[in-house]
Amino acid sequence: MAEVYWDLEWTLQQQGFNYCYDKCLYDRLRGGHARPVREHFHAGLDYQDRLARFLENHDEPRATATFDTAKHRAAAVLTFLSPGLRFFHQGQFEGRHKRISPHLVRAPAELTDVALSEFYDRLLAALRQPAVRDGNWQLVDCRPAWDGNPTYDDFIAFTWETSSAERVIVVVNFSDHQSQTKLCLPFVTATDGSYRFHDLLTMANYDWSAEVIQREGLFVDLPSWGSHVLECTVVGC
């Protein structure tokens, strides 16, 4: 793995490195705007699959020192549920604040952030889903929820899907205000039956008819820095 900066990731991949740091995604997440993040995800999977995606490492500040709590969670969902190698740093799950020099073998004692630790437990469970582990990744088109509503541009959404129709949908409102969008889901082709969306982060369930999704898209309304990680199943036909 190459610890690389200065937009040289592709160059080093071509020189034989299996993975390269994705500093570009990290910087765009720190910037706090959805569109640059979404544009980064338009890169080819031959490139994305060989990026090491992170929110902190031995050179960067702790994620808890970089992002506030809500933005940290949104950034984590995007970073670790996107394609590539997921790079977690010692102490990240516990919400540690103090960056430790790599030359030291000790660290000050810090209290665990219980809520953040529980969030990472749920995120890791989502990573074990067959769709995420074995499926194909696809960016999803986000459309206006209604005419004159520009907040659809605050969203980043993508799907993971296996050949046996195991599916997970990830959608994040990467902004500091409430936003709405409608998702164009490529796998919804029939108008009969309905779909159940089970949120792997909150355990909430949402049922939508296939006809409505196909005609209008899947409506999403999220608070600032809000996210869904939705396991999708057919519940009627």
The residue out of 98, 128, 158 marking a domain boundary is 128
Q: Convert the pLDDT of each residue in 58-114 to its tens digit.
A: 989 999 999 999 999 999 999 999 999 999 999 999 999 998 887 877 888 889 999
* Domain span at 178: 132-236
> Is 107 in the same domain as 174?
no
If one counts every other C-beta atom within 10 angstroms of the C-beta of residue 217, the result is 21
Global model pTM greater than 0.85: yes
Q: Convert the pLDDT of each residue in 21-66 to its tens digit.
A: 999 999 999 999 999 999 999 999 999 999 999 999 998 999 999 9
Q: What distance, in Å, lies between the first and last C-alpha atoms of the chain?
A: 47
- Count helices and strands (H / E) in the chain: 9, 12
Contact 22/52 with Cβ under 8 angstroms? yes
If one counts every other C-beta atom within 10 angstroms of the C-beta of residue 187, the result is 14
Contact 153/35 with Cβ under 8 angstroms? yes
The residue out of 66, 101, 128 marking a domain boundary is 128
> Is 99 in the same domain as 144?
no
How far, in Å, CA of 161 to CA of 185, rounded?
11
Tokens for 59, please give them. Answer: 């050179």
Q: Convert the pLDDT of each residue in 144-203 to its tens digit.
A: 999 999 999 999 999 999 999 899 999 999 999 999 999 999 888 777 789 999 999 999
Contact 172/77 with Cβ under 8 angstroms? yes
CATH classification of the domain holding 177 = 2.60.40.1180
Please give the C-alpha separations between residue 22 and each of 35, 102, 136, in angstroms, as whole numbers.
17, 20, 20
Q: Convert the pLDDT of each residue in 114-138 to its tens digit.
A: 999 999 999 999 999 999 999 999 9
In a domain, 2, yes or no: no
> Is 124 in the same domain as 18?
yes
The secondary structure of residue 32, as a DSSP letter, is T
> Is 115 in the same domain as 179?
no
